[in-house]
């Protein structure tokens, strides 16, 4: 029970930290992507700015900031301006319920490593991501440009469709954990089967299937390869953000990568056992290690993201939709039913 | 300890057959249809036999409850079956004879169209008849009652392209309705005064009542009304007119429905409700009188008929008259006994007649037959057995039952006996007339090429085995059926027919019931009476022999000498015309003038039309609200909602 | 501690706005939106009453309302598309053939 | 709640007024805007703040679903259609006298009456923050036990709606095309 003042202060501090970490992570995800894709394509990727081009993101940010921020004449202005903000805000908000580790006591304040622990945290994330659609859709519509419109339509349709199977793939885990709170879900995954297999949901019943459903729909949700049709350069110039430039474009850009990170976090929380892992050493190390394990998982997930982008071709749009509705959704439902059966029979 | 014999199966099996054939039969082959019909009917028969086999283990009356049907206050009628000796007998007769006739009809109807229709109707009839027999309350019985009426209507009108058949069907239906009307009122009275229709309860509540020896009362009324119903169903005066016309139906139908089973439902019903009649001597007397008169009347008509089936029809009526006479003198067991034997030989007679008709290619006029003895020996011999049985020669079945009836009648009044004997004489006369005309002498009809076969006499052929088998079986039955002996039969039925009729039963029935024991003292008188009856039968045989074998011209002379009377007889005493002028025509006129033109057209239709016109005029003025503008509609809705809210607020805060 | 009647009044206001929208807007889609607005007002009162009577069923009803709203939106929008295809307008005042 | 309960009523009232204000503002904006897409977005705002109200009443699951289904799915559908048809601003046509003469006043009367009754006569007492916590578990329990039949029925309803939507929205000529191909 904290007094209201400390509560506010602590919250503000946590928010600042989270935002800072997130934005840095975004920046370096971009860097990582360029690096990895470069190596996949037998190039070097960014090397000039700093060692291994580590300062490249900084340079990009500065470039975005100082570019001319022009708005085309025929756009529908209010929405044209609002759209990237919506996108970015939704992307950033969803991080607020993501726990990165256990409770810690800093300066006598005992608090979770998480901005706030809602008991409907997962629902919040889903809700916010579903609001994220508006950013894309409105951007596409308001820029008053057929490529953008098509991109926006595609993006919104695709996101709405894949949201369904995304949600369904999570429900299995929810049944196992019996809670919407991400912290509870993670804590439910502590311990091991038969002493050596970690008790992660991914090893649990049919959740491996759920994991892959989640993976695929997450790619579609974040408009990434192989589902990056909304911004398919070869057909739509740049899709919904064709008309955007400078900071507004950067917002979309950041939103996309922030979404990727969120998705990665959710995946590692729900399926990969969150921050569970071997903990040893001095107290400080014990405080750090869980966060390290967690970050490791997120990193791995992001790596897979980039890897896929580097290797897979792009789908056709009807293929995408058919796949989503006719294959993923039934699969997710079947998995859900089976999980429910297992849980019921076991209890 | 009684085993649970699933009585419900017995009626439902034929129903299943009916359903299958009726619904899908059109696609089936004749073989399939007939096998289905026979299969289900035979299964019912087997069930009945099984029940009989269980008989010793049973403690009768055995009743079986399936489901509640109607429950209104204290009144309650259920789907429940009730099995006692009486219904057991009926059960056996219905299923047995029914099964035989099913077999027969396969052969008989093979050439006909609508084969599946026929058999589904036949099975349907079996279902309803069994329901009637097994019901444990009057209402369920009434369902069966109406059902058999329906089935008979359908089957009489089976050849629905033939106007006469259709008309006959309608006639049967309507006349039956009249009877059912009486039956229904009786049921209502029962409900009103005894609060139940369940046999057991009703009889239990009636048992303590005194017999209404002085003056008619409730029970008399009920009894009479029941008798009306019975008269309708069993073709007694004055409602017998439908039965002769019913011969329009296929012959197996006449055999099954209009001779063996359905028409005896009335007798069954009267015997079933004997507890009521025992306490209503007047009603009982009426029953007796009606029965006696019908017997005589129909017999006289039968004498003059030339259509083979008509003759049999009238003889059926008169035999039914016998049964009612028996019931009327409270000798129910005798009536039922005669019912059984009659089922055998009359069924056989019809089947044989059918076989004859089949043989001569659809000809029904006896004057065009003759000399068939050698052509169709099987038919001839079986028919002979039946004829002797119905004429009441010893030791054929008919003798025992009829003799029993006459004897019982004689103990009440010799008038009944006298008429009975005279009727017996007539019966034997017209039956042998039929016999001689059909089988003796030489063939008089020009051999017609119907479904008989060739153009000349050679076309006359014996029926297929499938038709002969039932004939033979029934022949055996009608020979030996009576050997059970009325005494043993009466003992068998005693528990039913004495149930509820205690010490307070009117003397008539006490005599009848005691008779089982007193017989030895009266052997002498009985033998005398029996001798007289036999003599009458023999006389009939001799006369028929004389007139229709030795001197064929004699009948015409006699007819001439009788003059008007003979015409009257030939025209069935003009009863049909009488009814037509008395009831049908006035009814038609009334309903045309008053009901149709007066009420229906000028009141009901007028009301509807004016209502429609008014509606149109009003809506003409209101239709302008329909501007086609969505928002104005919404406006109206909002205004209305506001009104409702205001009203509710006002109501709530007042 | 906020009086529950405030919530109810809020829902009432929303509903009223919906009705007004229905009455004054011409664009059929906007009319649809105002219907959704009414539904939302109703939902709010449902939840409020659930709190009033401590009966969760009030909250459950909201789900059914939502389902109905979803179905209605699907069908309604399809109808709108069909109408637009045939009449080339979304103005309900121009879609007024259903009259005498 | 992690907060001290002394100031809880104040917070509750402020939050209520905040969300309520946003609600009403959004609703009014819905009416004021000429272009359907603005109306749609303002409705989204209304829904979002309604979710806030639900949270204040403790109906957390309802709030989440409100955002996901209503704001996230249904309204997206609306926006989608608006974008598809791209019908532009609504034109001011004659409209109907009835709506303005009867409808609006009737609506006003009804609202005022209801408000009066609610304020004066309704026996509703004050509720505290999160008055009736509708946890997902309990809601689910209710849905799948007490309300199982309605639930199934609504599922059928949705199925029908889907089919109806497909039938209605599919291009007639394209349908004919498909039939020809058969």
Taking the CA of residue A4 and the nearest CA in chain D, the distance in Å comes to 5
- CA-wise closest residue to A186 among A258, A103, A129, A130: A103
A1/D4 CB distance under 8 A: yes
The nearest alpha carbon in chain B to C21 belongs to B631
Taking the CA of residue C44 and the nearest CA in chain D, the distance in Å comes to 7
Instruction: With a cut of 50, say whether residue B457 has pLDDT above it.
Output: no
The enclosing domain of D71 has a CATH number of 1.20.120.1200
Residues 6+ apart with CB under 8 A from A23: A254
3-state secondary structure of A312: coil
Whether residue A262 is contained in a domain is answered as yes
Touching B: D residues 98-127, CB under 8 Å: 98-107, 109-110, 113-114, 116-117, 121
Which CATH number does C4-95 carry?
1.10.287.3510
- Which of B627-631, D80-84, D164-168 has the least mean pLDDT? B627-631
pLDDT in tens, A133-155: 888 888 888 888 888 888 888 88
To the nearest 10°, the Cα dihedral for B498, B504, B507, B512?
Answer: 10
C-chain residues near B634 (CB < 8 A): 19, 22-23
Taking the CA of residue A293 and the nearest CA in chain D, the distance in Å comes to 29
- The tokens describing A240, both together, are 């919904």
D-chain residues near B634 (CB < 8 A): 99, 103
Cα dihedral sign for B204, B330, B224, B229? positive
A-chain residues near D4 (CB < 8 A): 1, 3-4
H/E stretch holding B83: strand B75-83
User: Band of the pLDDT at B507, cuts 50, 70, 90?
Assistant: very low
- CA-wise closest residue to A29 among A340, A315, A306, A235: A306
- CB-closest option in D99, D110, D113 to B635: D99
pLDDT for position D1? 41
Q: What is the mean pLDDT of residues B165-179?
A: 89
C33/D43 CB distance under 8 A: yes
Phi then psi for residue A100, to 5 deg, are -115, -5
3-state secondary structure of A3: coil
D and B make contact (3+ CB pairs below 8 Å): yes
Instruction: With a cut of 60, say whether residue B226 has pLDDT above it.
Output: yes
Round to whole Å and give the CA distance between B159 and B148.
Answer: 18
D-chain residues near A137 (CB < 8 A): 76, 79-80, 83
For strands B62-72 and D126-127, give the pairing. unpaired
With an 8 Å Cβ cutoff, is D175 touching chain B? no
The percentage of residues in chain B with a pLDDT greater than 90, rounded to a whole number, is 12
D-chain residues near A4 (CB < 8 A): 3-4, 7
pLDDT for position A80? 86
Q: Bridge-partner residues for A112, per DSSP?
A: A103
Round to whole Å and give the CA distance between B314 and B320.
Answer: 10
Instruction: With a cut of 50, say whether residue B502 has pLDDT above it.
Output: no
* Rg, Å, chain B Cα set: 29
With an 8 Å Cβ cutoff, is D3 touching chain B? no
D71/A137 CB distance under 8 A: no
Whether residue D179 is contained in a domain is answered as yes
A130/D72 CB distance under 8 A: yes
User: Band of the pLDDT at B124, cuts 50, 70, 90?
Assistant: very high
CB B498 within 8 A of CB B492: no
Residues 6+ apart with CB under 8 A from C3: D124, D125, D126, D127
B628/C99 CB distance under 8 A: yes
- CA-wise closest residue to B318 among B236, B252, B198, B262: B236
C-chain residues near B616 (CB < 8 A): none
pLDDT for position B510? 46
A and C make contact (3+ CB pairs below 8 Å): no
On average, the pLDDT of chain B sits at 84
Whether residue A193 is contained in a domain is answered as yes
B-chain residues near C93 (CB < 8 A): 629, 631
- In a 10 Å sphere around its CB, with 0-12 CB exposed, 13-18 middle and 19+ buried, how is residue D173 labelled? exposed
Tens-digit pLDDT profile for chain A (347 aa)?
567 777 788 888 888 888 888 888 888 888 888 888 888 888 887 888 878 778 888 888 888 888 888 888 888 888 888 888 888 888 888 888 888 777 777 766 777 777 777 777 888 888 888 888 888 888 888 888 888 888 888 888 888 888 888 888 888 888 887 778 888 788 777 777 776 777 777 777 668 888 888 888 888 888 887 887 777 777 777 777 778 877 888 888 888 888 888 888 888 888 887 787 777 778 777 778 888 888 888 888 888 888 888 888 888 888 888 888 888 888 888 888 888 888 888 77
CB A222 within 8 A of CB A254: no
With an 8 Å Cβ cutoff, is D32 touching chain A? no
Q: What is the mean pLDDT of residues B453-482?
A: 76
CB B427 within 8 A of CB B299: yes
pLDDT for position A195? 66
Residues 6+ apart with CB under 8 A from B309: B247, B251, B254, B350, B353, B357, B364
Touching D: A residues 156-175, CB under 8 Å: 156-157, 160, 163, 167
Count of C-D CB contacts under 8 Å: 252
Count of B-C CB contacts under 8 Å: 32
CB B177 within 8 A of CB B168: no
* Probe site for chain C from D65, D124, D125 (most C CB atoms < 10 A): D124
pLDDT for position D94? 66
With an 8 Å Cβ cutoff, is D140 touching chain C? no
- Are residues D152 and D86 part of one domain? no
Whether residue A231 is contained in a domain is answered as yes
Cα B173 to its chain centre, rounded Å, is 12
Instruction: With a cut of 60, say whether residue D5 has pLDDT above it.
Output: no
pLDDT for position B503? 37
3-state secondary structure of C3: strand
B-chain residues near C99 (CB < 8 A): 626-629
pLDDT in tens, D13-67: 888 888 889 989 998 888 888 888 888 888 988 988 998 888 888 888 888 888 8
CB B74 within 8 A of CB B56: no
pLDDT for position B525? 75
pLDDT for position D181? 66
- The tokens describing B93, both together, are 């007769």
pLDDT for position B541? 87
Q: Bridge-partner residues for B72, per DSSP?
A: B75
pLDDT for position B450? 45
C and D make contact (3+ CB pairs below 8 Å): yes
Residues 6+ apart with CB under 8 A from D24: C10, C13, C14, C17
With an 8 Å Cβ cutoff, is B214 touching chain C? no
The nearest alpha carbon in chain B to C27 belongs to B631
pLDDT for position B360? 82
Peptide bond into B238 cis (omega under 30): yes
CB A340 within 8 A of CB A179: no
Whether residue A259 is contained in a domain is answered as yes
User: Band of the pLDDT at D95, cuts 50, 70, 90?
Assistant: low
With an 8 Å Cβ cutoff, is D61 touching chain C? yes
The nearest alpha carbon in chain D to C17 belongs to D27
Reported ipTM: 0.74
**Which residue intervals of chain A are DSSP H helices?**
4-40, 56-66, 77-93, 121-142, 146-177, 182-188, 207-221, 233-236, 246-270, 283-311, 317-322, 329-346
Q: Which structural domain, as residue segments, surrounds residue D2? A: 1-90+129-134
Domain positions in chain C? 4-95
The percentage of residues in chain B with a pLDDT greater than 70, rounded to a whole number, is 93
Round to whole Å and give the CA distance between B404 and B332.
Answer: 11
The nearest alpha carbon in chain A to D41 belongs to A134
pLDDT in tens, C28-58: 888 888 889 999 999 988 888 888 888 888 8
To the nearest 10°, the Cα dihedral for C22, C28, C30, C34?
Answer: 40
Whether residue A253 is contained in a domain is answered as yes
Q: Which structural domain, as residue segments, surrounds residue A317? A: 61-106+113-346
User: Band of the pLDDT at B452, cuts 50, 70, 90?
Assistant: very low
With an 8 Å Cβ cutoff, is B638 touching chain C? yes
Whether residue A223 is contained in a domain is answered as yes
CB A128 within 8 A of CB A94: yes
C33/D107 CB distance under 8 A: no
pLDDT for position D176? 65
pLDDT for position B459? 65
Q: What is the mean pLDDT of residues C72-83?
A: 86
Instruction: With a cut of 80, say whether residue D161 has pLDDT above it.
Output: yes
* Rg, Å, chain A Cα set: 21
pLDDT for position C98? 66
Taking the CA of residue D136 and the nearest CA in chain A, the distance in Å comes to 8
pLDDT for position B504? 37
- CB-closest option in B623, B634, B635 to C100: B623
B-chain residues near C22 (CB < 8 A): 631, 634, 638
Round to whole Å and give the CA distance between A242 and A249.
Answer: 9
pLDDT for position A1? 54
In terms of pTM, does the model score above 0.80?
no
CB B26 within 8 A of CB B49: no
Touching C: D residues 13-52, CB under 8 Å: 13, 16, 20, 23-24, 27-28, 30-31, 36, 39-40, 43, 46-47, 50
Give the other-Cβ count within 10 Å of A75's Cβ: 20
D157/C48 CB distance under 8 A: no
pLDDT in tens, A269-320: 888 877 877 777 787 777 788 888 888 888 888 888 888 888 888 888 888 8
Q: What is the mean pLDDT of residues B26-53?
A: 89
Q: How many structural domains compose chain D? A: 2
pLDDT in tens, B247-270: 888 888 888 888 888 888 999 999
Subunit partners of chain C (3 or more CB pairs within 8 A): B, D
Subunit partners of chain D (3 or more CB pairs within 8 A): A, B, C
Whether residue A40 is contained in a domain is answered as no
Residues 6+ apart with CB under 8 A from A37: A45, A306, A309, A310
Phi then psi for residue D121, to 5 deg, are -105, -25
pLDDT in tens, B175-208: 888 889 999 999 999 888 888 888 888 888 888 8
Cα dihedral sign for B152, B155, B161, B164? negative
Q: How many structural domains compose chain A? A: 1
Touching C: B residues 612-631, CB under 8 Å: 623-624, 626-631
With an 8 Å Cβ cutoff, is D137 touching chain A? yes
Whether residue D173 is contained in a domain is answered as yes
């Amino acid at each position: 029970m904290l007094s209201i003042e400390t509560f506010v202060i602590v919250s503000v501090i946590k928010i600042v930290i989270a935002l800072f970490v997130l934005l840095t992570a975004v920046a370096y995800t971009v860097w990582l992507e360029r690096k990895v894709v470069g190596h996949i394509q037998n190039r070097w990727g960014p090397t000039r700015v700093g060692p291994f081009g580590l300062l490249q993101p900084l340079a990009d940010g500065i470039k975005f900031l100082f570019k001319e921020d022009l708005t085309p004449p025929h756009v529908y202005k209010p929405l044209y301006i609002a759209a990237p903000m919506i996108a970015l805000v939704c992307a950033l908000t969803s991080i607020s319920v993501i726990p990165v580790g256990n409770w810690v006591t800093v300066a006598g304040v005992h608090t979770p490593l998480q901005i706030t622990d809602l008991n409907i945290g997962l629902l919040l994330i889903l809700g916010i991501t579903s609001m994220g659609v508006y950013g894309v859709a409105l951007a596409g519509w308001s820029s008053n440009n057929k490529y953008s419109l098509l991109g926006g339509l595609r993006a919104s349709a695709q996101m709405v469709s894949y949201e369904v199977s995304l949600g369904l793939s999570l429900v299995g885990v929810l049944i196992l954990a019996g809670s919407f709170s991400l912290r509870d879900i993670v804590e439910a995954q502590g311990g091991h089967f038969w002493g050596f297999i970690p008790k992660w949901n991914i090893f649990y019943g049919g959740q491996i299937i759920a994991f892959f459903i989640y993976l695929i729909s997450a790619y579609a949700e974040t408009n990434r390869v192989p589902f990056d049709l909304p911004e398919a350069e070869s057909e739509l110039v740049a899709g919904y953000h064709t008309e955007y430039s400078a900071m507004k474009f950067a917002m979309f850009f950041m939103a996309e990568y922030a979404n990727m990170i969120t998705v990665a976090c959710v995946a590692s929380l729900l399926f990969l056992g969150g921050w569970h892992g071997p903990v040893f050493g001095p107290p400080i190390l014990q405080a750090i290690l869980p966060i390290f394990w967690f970050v490791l998982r997120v990193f791995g997930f992001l790596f897979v993201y980039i890897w896929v982008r580097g290797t897979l071709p792009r789908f056709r749009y009807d293929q995408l939709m058919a796949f989503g509705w006719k294959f993923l959704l039934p699969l997710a439902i079947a998995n859900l039913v089976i999980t429910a059966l297992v849980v019921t029979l076991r209890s | 300890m009684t085993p649970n014999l699933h009585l419900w199966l017995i009626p439902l099996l034929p129903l299943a057959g009916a359903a299958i054939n009726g619904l899908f039969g059109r696609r089936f082959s004749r073989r399939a249809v007939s096998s289905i019909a026979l299969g289900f009917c035979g299964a019912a028969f087997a069930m009945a036999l099984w029940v009989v086999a269980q008989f010793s283990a049973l403690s009768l009356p055995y009743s079986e409850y399936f489901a509640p049907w109607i429950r209104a206050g204290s009144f309650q009628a259920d789907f429940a079956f009730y099995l006692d000796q009486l219904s057991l007998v009926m059960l056996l007769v219905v299923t047995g004879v029914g099964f035989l006739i099913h077999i027969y009809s396969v052969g008989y109807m093979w050439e006909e169209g609508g084969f599946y229709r026929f058999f589904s109707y036949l099975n349907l009839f079996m279902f309803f008849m069994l329901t009637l027999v097994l019901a444990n309350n009057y209402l369920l019985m009434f369902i069966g009652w109406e059902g058999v009426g329906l089935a008979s209507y359908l089957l009489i009108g089976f050849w629905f392209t033939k106007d006469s058949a259709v008309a006959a069907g309608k006639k049967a239906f309507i006349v039956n309705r009249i009877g059912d009307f009486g039956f229904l009122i009786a049921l209502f009275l029962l409900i009103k005064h005894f609060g139940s229709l369940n046999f057991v309860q009703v009889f239990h509540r009636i048992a303590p009542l005194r017999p209404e020896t002085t003056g008619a009362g409730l029970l008399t009324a009920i009894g009479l009304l029941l008798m009306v119903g019975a008269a309708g169903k069993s073709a007694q005066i004055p409602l017998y007119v439908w039965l002769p016309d019913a011969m329009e139906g296929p012959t197996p139908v006449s055999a099954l429905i209009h001779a063996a089973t359905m028409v005896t439902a009335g007798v069954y019903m009267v015997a079933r409700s004997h507890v009521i009649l025992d306490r209503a001597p007047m009603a009982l007397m009426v029953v007796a009188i009606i029965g006696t008169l019908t017997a005589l009347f129909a017999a006289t008509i039968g004498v003059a008929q030339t259509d083979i089936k008509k003759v049999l029809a009238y003889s059926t009526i008169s035999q039914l008259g016998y049964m009612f006479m028996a019931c009327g003198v409270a000798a129910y067991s005798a009536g039922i006994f005669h019912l059984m034997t009659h089922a055998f030989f009359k069924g056989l007679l019809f089947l044989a007649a059918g076989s004859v008709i089949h043989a001569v290619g659809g000809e029904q006029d006896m004057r065009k037959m003759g000399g068939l003895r050698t052509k169709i020996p099987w038919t001839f011999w079986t028919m002979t057995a039946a004829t002797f049985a119905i004429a009441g020669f010893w030791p054929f079945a008919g003798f025992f039952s009829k003799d029993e009836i006459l004897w019982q009648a004689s103990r009440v009044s010799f008038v009944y006996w006298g008429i009975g004997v005279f009727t017996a004489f007539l019966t034997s006369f017209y039956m042998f007339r039929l016999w001689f005309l059909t089988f003796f002498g030489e063939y008089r009809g020009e051999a017609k090429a119907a479904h008989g076969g060739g153009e000349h006499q050679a076309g006359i052929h014996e029926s297929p085995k499938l038709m002969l088998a039932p004939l033979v079986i029934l022949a055996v039955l009608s020979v030996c059926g009576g050997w059970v002996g009325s005494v043993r039969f009466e003992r068998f039925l005693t528990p039913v027919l004495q149930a509820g009729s205690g010490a307070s039963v009117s003397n008539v029935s006490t005599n009848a019931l005691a008779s089982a024991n007193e017989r030895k003292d009266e052997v002498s008188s009985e033998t005398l009476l029996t001798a007289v009856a036999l003599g009458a039968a023999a006389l009939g045989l001799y006369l028929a022999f004389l007139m229709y074998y030795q001197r064929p011209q004699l009948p015409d002379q006699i007819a001439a000498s009788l003059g008007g009377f003979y015409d009257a007889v030939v025209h069935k005493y003009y009863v049909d015309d009488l009814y037509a002028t008395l009831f049908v025509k006035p009814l038609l006129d009334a309903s045309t003038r008053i009901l149709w033109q007066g009420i229906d057209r000028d009141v009901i239709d007028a009301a509807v039309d004016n209502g429609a016109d008014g509606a149109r005029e009003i809506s003409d003025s209101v239709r302008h609200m329909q501007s086609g503008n969505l928002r104005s509609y919404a406006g109206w809705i909002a205004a209305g909602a506001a009104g409702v809210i205001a009203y509710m607020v006002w109501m709530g805060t007042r | 501690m906020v009086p529950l009647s405030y919530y109810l009044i809020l829902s009432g206001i929303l509903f009223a706005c919906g009705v007004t929208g229905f009455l004054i807007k011409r664009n059929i889609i906007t009319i649809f939106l105002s219907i959704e607005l009414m539904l939302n007002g109703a939902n709010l009162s449902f939840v409020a009453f659930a709190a009033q009577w401590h009966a969760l069923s009030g909250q459950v009803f909201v789900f059914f309302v939502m389902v109905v709203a979803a179905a209605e939106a699907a069908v309604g929008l399809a109808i709108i598309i069909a109408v637009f295809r045939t009449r080339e307008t979304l103005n309900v005042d121009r879609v007024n053939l259903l009259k005498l | 709640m992690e907060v001290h309960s002394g100031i809880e009523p104040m917070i509750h009232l402020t939050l209520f007024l905040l969300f309520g204000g946003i609600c009403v503002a959004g609703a009014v904006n819905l009416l004021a805007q000429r272009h359907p897409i603005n109306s749609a977005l303002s409705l989204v705002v209304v829904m979002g703040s309604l979710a806030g109200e639900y949270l204040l009443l403790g109906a957390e699951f309802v709030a989440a679903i409100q955002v996901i289904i209503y704001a996230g799915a249904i309204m997206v559908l609306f926006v989608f259609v608006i974008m598809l048809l791209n019908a532009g601003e609504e034109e001011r046509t004659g409209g109907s006298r009835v709506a303005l003469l009867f409808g609006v006043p009737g609506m006003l009367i009804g609202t005022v009456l209801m408000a009066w009754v609610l304020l004066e006569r309704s026996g509703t007492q004050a509720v505290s923050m999160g008055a009736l916590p509708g946890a997902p578990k309990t809601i689910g329990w209710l849905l799948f036990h007490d309300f199982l039949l309605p639930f199934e029925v609504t599922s059928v309803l949705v199925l029908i709606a889907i089919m109806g939507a497909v039938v209605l929205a599919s291009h007639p000529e394209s349908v004919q095309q498909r039939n020809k191909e058969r």
